[in-house]
Amino acid sequence: MSEDNHYSLEAINARDRAKKHEDFADLQDEMAGRITGKNARFLSAKERSRRAGQNADHKENFSKLQIMLADAAYRAAYTQTMSDLSGAESAVYDALIDAADQVNQAQSDLDDTVAGAQTLPDGTKVFRNDDGSVYTADGRKLDDDVAATIDWKDGAPSWEDVQTKQRALEDAKQRHTKLAGYDAELARIRKHMEDEANPPTQEEIDAYKKRIGEIETEVSKTQDIETGLKTSKPEDAIVHDLALGPSPT
């Protein structure tokens, strides 16, 4: 650029605009408390310190999770996993309700079977096996001489009958316990996903998403089993009551 052009009105105006732009940018840096390597020209040392403190306080208002969610890829993975988690939690809850119904029904069936059993004079319920041996409900075998004195009533449930009911109850309890484990696992995942101070990493989110899918698959299998075994469901079943009946004695 020639000396004449340097002092032209157009060149002078251009430099003035550039200077004003630089001044404005420097002022913003000083107000924000950013370190740029330049000497401060606009704010006093006290004012710069005050504004830097305000800026730090402002940043502290954002949790680590909020900061990580600013990344588009992380936010997409996080949002999808949270959606999957909600779906899995709903599926597990519904399955737990059905499983609790199955436990209560199995317990009721066993209680009815025991109630109809042959009773000894001391009140002990006994059941005759196909081979003629006699057992109490807890599996204790009676002496043959004692068993021979029993006058069996018509329609008394057999030892096979009570064993079948006991197995059905244990199977139902095992399914309920397994589902309760899934429910607890999903609760732990949610707690970490919602941890503002220590959110999951991208790798942890990917692992959670995979595990959530596995749980949903297992729950689906469990529901198929329960559907096949279900005999009846009380019309007035209380959804939130998952209390299990007593174990057979």
Task: Report the pLDDT value the prediction gives residue 81, as an integer from 0 to 100.
Answer: 97
Identify the domain containing residue 55 by its residue range: 3-61
Q: Is the pLDDT of residue 237 over 50?
A: no
Which spans in the chain are helix H?
3-6, 9-32, 45-60, 64-68, 72-115, 144-147, 159-193, 202-229
Q: How far apart are CA 98 and CA 192, in angstroms?
A: 28
Please report whether residue 152 resides in a domain: no
Are residues 53 and 93 both part of a single domain?
A: no
- 179-229 tens-digit pLDDT: 999 999 999 999 999 999 999 999 999 999 999 999 999 998 877 655 555
Are residues 12 and 104 both part of a single domain?
A: no
- 57-70 tens-digit pLDDT: 445 568 899 999 99
Note the pTM of the prediction, 2 decimals.
0.64
Total domains in the fold of the chain:
2
Are residues 9 and 105 both part of a single domain?
A: no
CB 126 within 8 A of CB 208: no
Are residues 75 and 28 both part of a single domain?
A: no
Closest CA relative to residue 67, chosen from 182, 197, 171 = 197
Task: Report the pLDDT value the prediction gives residue 242, as an integer from 0 to 100.
Answer: 36
Are residues 7 and 85 both part of a single domain?
A: no
Are residues 103 and 161 both part of a single domain?
A: yes
- 150-176 tens-digit pLDDT: 999 989 999 999 999 999 999 999 999
Are residues 50 and 75 both part of a single domain?
A: no
- The more confidently predicted of residues 84 and 221 is 84
Are residues 111 and 168 both part of a single domain?
A: yes
Are residues 21 and 111 both part of a single domain?
A: no
Please report whether residue 80 resides in a domain: yes
Are residues 10 and 111 both part of a single domain?
A: no
Closest CA relative to residue 84, chosen from 221, 218, 214, 220 = 214
Are residues 46 and 166 both part of a single domain?
A: no
Please report whether residue 182 resides in a domain: yes
- 27-57 tens-digit pLDDT: 666 555 555 556 655 556 665 555 555 555 4
